[in-house]
Each structure stands twice: as C-alpha cells, then as structure tokens.
Structure 1
Amino acid sequence: MGSDLIRLSALLDDAKCFDLIRQHRWPDGVRCASCDSGQVVRNGWDDARHTRQRWLCKDCKARFDDLTGTVLAGHHQPLRVWVLCLYFMGLNLSNRQIAQELDLNEGDVQAMTGQLRQGLVERQPDVRLDGEVEADEVYVVAGHKGNPAAVQKKAGRDAGGG
C-alpha cells in the first residue's frame, strides 16, 4: 500500500455516524429501548465512545444508548467501520474486498457481514401478499431451463402409458 492511499474510514467520524443512526432509528424522536416510551432524557455520553449518547427513560427508568438493542451493539470496532462495511455490502463487494478497504482481516469482516445480514433480516417486516397472482406458460417453461420441446416430449411419453 502506498503512502498516498486515502481510506474512506478516515473521512468519516463517529459523531456523524451516531447522528445517522439516531435519525434512522428514531425518525419521530427517541424511544425507550425497553418499554418504547417517548418520555426519555439525555443521560450523558458513553465513556469509551464519547459520541454515543446515553438515555434515561422517565417511565421505566431504563438506561440505554444509541446502539442498545441493535445489531451494532457490543462490538469493539468503531461505528464508522460498521457503517462503511454496510455501505460496501450495498455495493456488492466481497468480504475480501471489504477487508482490504477497511484494513481488517477477512475473518473479522466475515463475522461483521454475517451479523449485519442477520440483523437486517430479523428487522424486516413480515411479507403479506394479497390480490391476484398471474402466471403464464413462460414461467412453466422457464422452470425447465427454457427447453419447451423436452417438456412436451416428456408430457407425451407420460400420456402414452410409459
């Protein structure tokens, strides 16, 4: 690696990442991580990550921070590294490429991407389907690798008793 290399992680700071997390997590105002009450007040900053806001719920007296109850909680990597990892995943980079970009080993990136994927899947709303569904013969043919002749040949053989 040359000395003129600029890493994206050096261009982001954790304060902006925590602001981003707050905006996306609580678009209508901070809610308690335990009881979902909106009656919360600021309660200082995290000792290790001075840009992570602590909160206190006036209703249930629970204490929580910006990451409590999220897939991002309880990790040693700075939040900006997690945000960049998620960004690179969105660009469809491999774990090896992400590891190179973030200057991490592949095993750590494998664990991070796995946790991010699992966390995102768990947070997806249940899919509810309704209404009409239409299918045509193209769908059926596509299921046979686009070889309609083989499908008709097999159908003719089955109809002939074997």
Structure 2
Amino acid sequence: MTGPVSLLDGEVFDDLVAERQIAGLRWPDGPRCPDCGSGEVAVRSGVPPLRWRCRGCRSDFTVTSGTAMHGSRIGAGRWVAAALRWEGRRSGLARMLGVSSATAGRVLDALEATRQPLGEDRLRALLVQDPDPSHARRSRLPGYLAAEDDPTVDLTPAERACLAVLRDRPRGVRAEEVADAARISKRHAHRCLGRLAEDEYAQKETASIPWGYKSLDVDLWFLTLTEECVTALAHLPRWPTSEHGECPVRVPPEFWWVFWSGSEAGELKLPEHADYVAGVLLDGPDRAARQWALKALPVSALSKCRQMRGYDTGRLAACIDAAIETRSGRA
C-alpha cells in the first residue's frame, strides 16, 4: 500500500516526500548504516522505498530499518500522516489511511508506545533505533508476544487468531469456520491459512466427516505439530470467548451424530437451545464435541447443566467448573 495519502482535510502525504522527511529527521548529516553506523553508503533506489547499501558491511537498509516502522507493509506516507495528524480511535484511523482495522490497530499501538503527543516529536520517537533490530517489531505487539523465543512475532494478529482456532479444533476445521471464529473475512482466512501452511504451522487435507446421517468430503485444516509449531502454540493467548454476543448459531455438523438425528440437530438454534445442546454434548461419547461445548456454549447453559443430576459429581463436574471459572475471568 504505497502512494499519496489524502487526509480528511484534503492534505496529501506522498511516500517519497514522507521518506525524505523521515531521512532528514533520522540522519540530519546524511544516511548512516543502522547496522555498523558507517556513513559511507551508496544509493540503491531513489524511489519509494528509498534504499541504500553500506560500503562497509554491505547491508541494504531503508529509512525505517530498525525502527518501529520496520517491516511494515504500508508506505511511509501513511505513517507520517498518522504520526503528525491522528489522535483518536482505531476505526477513524483505518478510514483515514484506507487500511484494515487490524493494520490501523498496529499503527496505533506503535504511536501510543512513543508516549508523545501528535506531531513531529511523535514521528521522531518512532525512529529511535533499538539495539536489537527485531525489538522494533515486537514493541508494537501485545505484551504476551514479547518473549525472546516467541516464534509468533512474525505472524500477523489474524494469522495468530487462525492458529488459535486450529489449536482448539484438533479434528480439523473448514476455512469458513476459521473465518467465523477468528472474526475475519473468508478471503482473509484463506490467505492466513496459506501463510501458516508455508511456515509449516498448518496443512490442508481432504477428509470425510459425519454430516447428519451421511458423510461429506470437505477440505479441513489441521495443525502441523512440528517443534516450532508446538513452541508457537505455547505463546498463543487463549482465544477470547464471551457469554454475550459470541455464541455460535448452530452445532457444528460433525457433532450432529451425537444427537442421533441429523435433521433435528441441524435445526437446533443457538443460543435458544443451548441448555439442551449442553446436556447432550457434555455427557455424550464424543470428546471433541464435549470440548467444543465447554468453550463455545454460553456460561449460563453450562451452569444450569452443572446443577443437574449426573453432572454434579466426578470428572465431568470438574471440567464444567474449570470451564466456567476460566471463561468468567477468575482463572
């Protein structure tokens, strides 16, 4: 996403002009290599993104190398526009820059991390180079991803959300369901899953799943349990669930057989029939269905089921109590 950026008041920020402004703030005496500090550099590109090569260490760099803007997929014009002009909510910033809400959120996180008011001081604060070049990117990510050995720092928030969905559905899940659970578009979910496959975090397989009384051949996504994937899973936060507004609208088709009637299970609506669904799945023979119920059904349904005979003692009662405690925010 490069090119001129039109602000709400009509002013335009051009990537080339912005990069020259950044270079002037960062290197008032001329470009210097971020790696070795040498001022002996050669111009590699005079168009956005401006690029130089150090004659000493032979490394290539840009005006944003080693800064909080390093590795960003949006142009310098949008960064300058945000730093100099924006002070408000993420949704407004997304509209102003013409980017997604997730991208605007990452930009806003970086701006807030400077603790500077809008203006040139905030832009200058974005350019402070960290001794660890990878820290610039980590600094604008949530705190739970800042560990030195965290491989998920190179994943976007949407990719981490998709990975969390795959973690919670070990039997496999369709891309459409990943999109719904991660709250992103289907097209974006396919892109994220493709990147996860390239990084060997996920794989797609054609499988036959129960669909009511029949079987259906579908493409399912699974985790690829490599050593790096397992390490990444340990750094992922628990994907948030809520009793209000996030309940799925129906029971996943692969669990319909537990109700012994495909047509009836397909007609069940959530959260209206959540109490009945909880009673069937929690005490049913399918462990994956039980785990889905504990994570997806409303807490009120789990609590009501917990008071019923058969659910008030033993291991099942302990599982229900743990799910209620965790999802109620007391864990």
Verify the 8 A CA contact 2:52 2:60 in the aligned structure 1: yes
CA distance in 1, matches of 2:127, 2:77: 22
RMSD of aligned residue pairs (Cα, Å): 2.8
CA distance in 1, matches of 2:20, 2:85: 20
* Number of corresponding residues: 113
- How far did 1:17 drift? 0.6
What are the superposed Cα offsets for residues 91-124 of structure 1, whole Å, 9 maximum, x if unpaired?
A: x222232223223333321111112333648949
Q: Which residue of 2 aligns with 1:117?
A: 112
CA distance in 1, matches of 2:24, 2:126: 20
Q: Assess, with a 3 A threshold, how the Cα gap between structure 1 residues 7 and 58 changes in structure 2: closer, same or farther.
A: closer
What are the superposed Cα offsets for residues 5-61 of structure 1, whole Å, 9 maximum, x if unpaired?
A: x9428722111011111101101111111111111121235xxxx322221212222
Pick one of 68, 72, 85 that aligns with 1:71. 68
Is 2:88 the partner of 1:100? no
Q: Assess, with a 3 A threshold, how the Cα gap between structure 1 residues 123 and 78 changes in structure 2: closer, same or farther.
A: closer
Verify the 8 A CA contact 1:88 1:98 in the aligned structure 2: no
What are the residue-to-residue correspondences of 1:24-63 with 2, within 5 Å?
24-45=25-46, 50-63=47-60
TM-score, length basis structure 2: 0.31
TM-score, length basis structure 1: 0.58
- The alignment-based identity, stated in percent, is 26
Q: Assess, with a 3 A threshold, how the Cα gap between structure 1 residues 121 and 66 changes in structure 2: closer, same or farther.
A: closer
Q: Assess, with a 3 A threshold, how the Cα gap between structure 1 residues 34 and 102 changes in structure 2: closer, same or farther.
A: same
Q: What SS does the corresponding residue of 2:13 show, helix, strand or coil?
A: coil
Q: What SS does the corresponding residue of 1:22 show, helix, strand or coil?
A: helix
Q: What SS does the corresponding residue of 1:23 show, helix, strand or coil?
A: helix
Structure with larger RCO (C-alpha < 8 A, sep 6+): 1
Gaps of 5+ in 2: 115-124, 130-331
Q: Assess, with a 3 A threshold, how the Cα gap between structure 1 residues 121 and 27 changes in structure 2: closer, same or farther.
A: closer
